[in-house]
Structure 1
Amino acid sequence: MDGVVQAWVSGWVVSRGAAPPEREPWGFTVDVGQVAQVSRHVFDALGDGVDEELVRKVAAGVTGAGVWLKVFQDPSVVGGWLGEGWWVDPEPGYLMTVPLTARQERPAAPAGYRLRTWSTGGVTRVLVAAPDGSLAARGQVAPTGATAVFDQIETVAAHQRRGLGSLVMRTLQAVAARTGAETGVLAGTPAGRALYESLGWHVEAPLTSAKFVGPDGA
Structure 2
Amino acid sequence: MLEAWVHGWTISRNTAAPVRIPAGYRIDVGLPGHLVRYVLHQYDADLVSRQHQPHTWLKIRGEVPLDKPWQVQQLEYLMTTAALTPATPSSREVEIVRQGSVIDATVRAADGTVAARGKAALTGDSAMFDQIETHPQHRRRGLGRTVMSALSAAAQHAGATTGVLVATEDGRALYTALGWTVDAPITAARL
One fold, TM greater than 0.5? yes
Per-residue deviation, 1:207: 0.8
Q: 1:37 to 1:109 in 2, by over 3 A?
A: farther
Per-residue deviation, 1:42: 0.6
Partner of 1:132: 111
Which digits, 9 at most, give the CA deviation of each residue in 1:71-117, with x for residues without a partner?
Answer: 1112xxx224x4x321111x21000001225x63572343xxx4211
Alignment of 1:179-190 (within 5 A): 179-190=158-169
Q: Is the 8 A contact 1:109 1:115 kept in 2?
A: no
Alignment of 1:51-200 (within 5 A): 51=43, 54=44, 56-74=45-63, 78-80=64-66, 82=67, 84-89=68-73, 91-101=74-84, 104-105=86-87, 107-110=89-92, 114-200=93-179
How far apart, CA to CA, are the structure 2 residues paired with 1:61 and 1:180?
A: 41
Partner of 1:26: 23
Q: Is the 8 A contact 1:106 1:174 kept in 2?
A: no
Q: List gaps (5 residues or longer) in structure 1.
A: 45-49, 213-218
Q: Is the 8 A contact 1:106 1:171 kept in 2?
A: no
Letter in 2 for 1:191: D
Q: Is the 8 A contact 2:94 2:150 kept in 1?
A: no
How far apart, CA to CA, are the structure 2 residues paired with 1:160 and 1:60?
A: 40
Per-residue deviation, 1:157: 1.2
Letter in 2 for 1:192: G
How far apart, CA to CA, are the structure 1 residues paired with 2:34 and 2:127?
A: 23
Per-residue deviation, 1:134: 1.2
> Which structure is higher in strand share?
2
Which of 202, 206, 214 is the equivalent residue of 2:181? 202
Coordinate RMSD, CA, aligned: 1.4
Q: List gaps (5 residues or longer) in structure 2.
A: none
